[in-house]
Amino acid sequence: MSNETNEFSFVLKPAQYGVGVFATHDIKAGIFLRLFREKDDPRASVVRNKKDVPNMFIQYCLDRGDTLICPKDFGCMEIGWYLNHSKTPNAYHDDDYNYYASNDIKAGEEITIDYNLLGEPEDTKEDFFR
């Protein structure tokens, strides 16, 4: 089990619900997950009007009603934007959106979070996130 993560700790691969983030080595519970570049704010995002974002990109944004919190650049999305939802996640975020392992994670295991904890209004959530 590793006590840290770095640029070689995660890889994108096909997952049950599209593309997911997978650990390349074992990670201990409580370890910071480097899913965004250190020089960037972990939320590396911008607020956009919903009507200005093409439909195919909305799935990568947090819905706030008339606005969306989106990656700054859809062409250079950080690996953290590909985290999938689980009702039994193995990662969580603090108030500053820094991500941590909530339990030991094995090499090859998908990193998941609970989308219900991202602060989206209840009426904007997809049915399968509830």
pTM (two decimals):
0.76
Predicted pLDDT at 119? 74
Query: pLDDT by residue (tens digit) across 75-112?
Result: 888 888 899 999 999 999 998 889 999 999 999 999 99
**DSSP for 44-112, written as a single string:** -EEEEEGGGS-HHHHTTSEE-SSEEEEES-GGG--GGGGPEE-SS-SEEE-TT--EEESS-B-TTPEEE
**27 and 2 Cβ atoms separated by less than 8 Å:** yes
Domains of the chain: which residue ranges? 41-74
| Unique residue bearing structure tokens 């997952």 | 15
Cα(55)–Cα(66) distance, rounded to whole angstroms?
14
Q: What is the mean pLDDT of the chain?
A: 85
